[in-house]
Amino acid sequence: MIEVNGARLGYDDTGDGTPVVLLHAGIADRRMWRAQTAALAARHRVVALDLRGYGESELPPTPFAHHVDVVGLLDALGIARAALVGCSFGGAVAIDTALAYPERVDALALLGAAVTGHEWSDETNDIWESLVGDVDPADHRASAAAEVRFWVVGPRRRPEDVDPELLRSAQEWDERALATEAALSAVDVAVLDPPAAGRLAELRMPVLVTAGALDLPDISRLADLIAATAPGAVRLPDVPDAAHLLPVERPDPVNAALLDFLR
């Protein structure tokens, strides 16, 4: 644990070399990065963070911003600049950090990233209705099962097509994340203003973009948009046989792509 902007945050700090910070999906926590930490730590100092309120990190009832916490973590660890790797919501936090503090970010690797200010398409809402339907938001177990079906299994396969251990882990992570989201609703969480959706051309550092081939169509479209707009972006093909948690589901191709990019 480390004190950052008035909150104690959970993190892992492994290896030596150029710094890399891993930012988890909103349905998970830093445990999703175990395979990447092991692969990258031979060449890099790898910091995997639990964003405020997630995993082991505290959520004091004071205003904050996730991207400000990321830079606060760099300051607390004595890191002047780092590459940021983000999946899903963690990708959105990585982008916001790079826009707010470009002097602190060497590179961005975005894996199925969200983008602040982006509005989901009607198609995504229709997919939710067809796969999940109505769920009681107060029932975290049922809500997590619905989100695992929607995000981790995805719209193009059945639960029995997915590794049961991945589904078990994702259910556990997401139940904890949903409790966090409920708590976050009572806290003043500042967002980047203006949001990232209209500012992707400001990302002047090298940017790697990919997504899971079995993820929602909106996620691949966002990857296309980032790659077409950020001047230094490289768009890798979508990772086969993977949905939203592609670093967990397909660690080998993800690790290879990260090692090559960060080199």
Instruction: For 188-215, write each residue's pLDDT tens digit.
Output: 999 899 999 999 999 999 999 999 999 9
User: Which amino acid type is present at position 212?
Assistant: G
Instruction: For 110-168, write each residue's pLDDT tens digit.
Output: 999 999 999 999 999 899 888 888 777 778 889 999 999 999 999 999 999 999 999 99
Report the percent of the chain where pLDDT is more than 90: 82
Report the percent of the chain where pLDDT is more than 70: 100
Domain segments of the chain as ranges: 2-119+188-262, 122-183
* Paired strand residues for 14: 46
- Predicted TM-score (pTM) of the model is 0.94
What integer pLDDT is reported at residue 138 of this predicted model? 76
> Which residues contact residue 212 at a Cβ distance below 8 angstroms, ignoring those fewer than 6 apart?
112, 154, 219, 238, 239, 242, 243, 244, 245, 246, 249, 250
Q: Over range 91-108, report the average pLDDT.
A: 98
Fold adopted by 2-119+188-262: Rossmann fold (3.40.50)
What integer pLDDT is reported at residue 10 of this predicted model? 97
What integer pLDDT is reported at residue 185 of this predicted model? 84
Q: Which residue in 2, 189, 175, 127 sits closest to 77, CA to CA?
A: 2
